[in-house]
Amino acid sequence: MNGGSNGHAVLVWGANHCGQLGDGTRGERPEPVSLRDTVDDVVAVTAGSHHTLALTRRGTVLAWGANHYGQLGDGTRQDRHRPVEVRELTGVTSLAAGGGHSVALLADGTVRTWGANDWGQIGDGTRHDHHVPVPVPGLRDVVAVAAGGGHNLALLKDGTVRTWGSNNRGQLGDGGKAERRTPVAVRDLGDVTAVSAGGYFSVALLKDGTVRTWGTNHWCQLGDGTNEERATPVPVRDLAGVTALDAGWHHTLAVLQDGTVRAWGNNHCGQLGLTPDHDPTAPVTVPALGHVHHVTAGYRHSLAVRAPEGWHGPDQCLVWGLTPDDRPPVPTGPVPLALTNGHTGRRIRSLAAGWAHTVALLDPPDQGAS
């Protein structure tokens, strides 16, 4: 099986009360466990609040975890403790998972959604939950998608962004706060190369390496030096040279060209890598981090993938914030997390963080250290 020791390896850990780890149990896992016997040929992973999605090489999707709103797309509302295949869905190239819904980008540039729809996050003009994927009407030429607590973002080929769903905090960026059941254009936004969605806010990386944010700002998650909500994009202060980013529920992480990481937003559990009593209004440098090429942000925890010195050898995964045993690492800065379980020496292709669980995808052994 390609999900085993000779192919891409999927590792999971953290909270598991809804089966979001996919290991057949509901038991919490403080250390990574392998899904080698239940997943096959996975090339990408993503995590929602309490569910997980995996993209296969065939362009199909596997899902597991919470399914109260049909976010697993298997036609039911039954939680799944092991992966099941999403129905009526092929040709997928990338995925996003939100609070209770899921999003898939297809090779033809169209988008499919399923799950919770109480705020119109399915994008089909209704407010009815969908237990299998449905197309988002009128949405074409999409190159990337992102899912937040109850809203979505779609990056188009021309560098513009469309949003839909919940908008009570201005997270759609259209200048208002009315929910949108079909996609609308984000206002006053430049040439975008990447998007990410937090719980009630949105983040866009521009071609020039700067970042724009909009939506709720109660925890200073917009990084503009204030705690004022914004219904249209504003620039993040003192931030340039960004190459990658990820928004958690109330905070954001950004990788810079020099391999360092900046963070902003809620820090009550040390998820910015600082002591928990420090809540900055603009980006701060996460201490003791370098050579980073990937970050992911959850609800109260953060992770980074650090390449070895000279970019030879296995990657290192670092974690900070609230750990599965409810204790922030001491000291609060990033600490290494051993992704072993028979997978020593592999490169980490991607990480995805949910509300309180994490999933990692490792490359095959022949793509690891050299």
281-323 per-position pLDDT tens digit: 999 999 989 999 999 999 999 999 998 765 566 788 999 998 6
Residue 164 near residue 156, CB atoms below 8 Å: no
CB atoms within 10 A of CB 336: 10
Q: Which amino acid would we find at residue 118?
A: D
Q: Which amino acid would we find at residue 350?
A: S
Q: Please tell me the number of Cα atoms within 13 Å of 328 on its side-chain side.
A: 20
Query: Which DSSP letter does residue 163 get?
Result: E
Question: Measured on CA atoms in the order 8, 13, 18, 23, is the torsion positive or negative?
Answer: positive
Specify which residues 202 forms β-bridges with.
197, 214
Question: Nearest CA to 118 among 126, 110, 127, 109?
Answer: 127
- Written as six digits, the tokens of 286 are 């996460």
Alpha-carbon span 175 to 189, nearest angstrom: 12
Query: Which DSSP letter does residue 58 get?
Result: T
**Residue pLDDT tens, the chain, 370 long:** 334 445 789 999 999 999 999 999 999 999 899 998 778 799 999 999 999 999 999 999 999 999 999 999 999 999 999 999 999 999 999 999 999 999 999 999 999 999 999 999 999 999 999 999 999 999 999 999 999 999 999 999 999 999 999 999 999 999 999 999 999 999 999 899 999 999 999 999 999 999 999 999 999 999 999 999 999 999 999 999 999 999 999 999 999 999 999 999 999 999 999 888 777 899 999 998 999 999 999 999 999 999 876 556 678 899 999 865 565 665 556 888 877 555 556 788 989 999 999 999 998 876 544 3
Per-domain residue ranges of the chain: 9-367
63-120 per-position pLDDT tens digit: 999 999 999 999 999 999 999 999 999 999 999 999 999 999 999 999 999 999 999 9
Alpha-carbon span 273 to 256, nearest angstrom: 16
Q: How far is CA 191 from CA 96, 160, 177, 298, in A?
A: 21, 7, 24, 27
pTM over 0.85? The answer is yes
According to CATH, the topology of domain 9-367 is: Methylamine Dehydrogenase; Chain H (2.130.10)
Tell me how far the alpha carbon of residue 177 is from its chain's centroid: 24
Q: How far is CA 126 from CA 88, 116, 140, 147, 244, in A?
A: 20, 11, 19, 18, 34
Q: Is 358 exposed, middle or buried (0-12, 13-18, 19+ CB in 10 A)?
A: buried
Helix locations, 32-103, DSSP H: none
Question: Nearest CA to 97 among 70, 135, 58, 136?
Answer: 70
Alpha-carbon span 242 to 260, nearest angstrom: 10
Residue 120 near residue 101, CB atoms below 8 Å: no
Helix locations, the chain, DSSP H: none
Residue 87 near residue 75, CB atoms below 8 Å: yes
Q: Which amino acid would we find at residue 354?
A: G
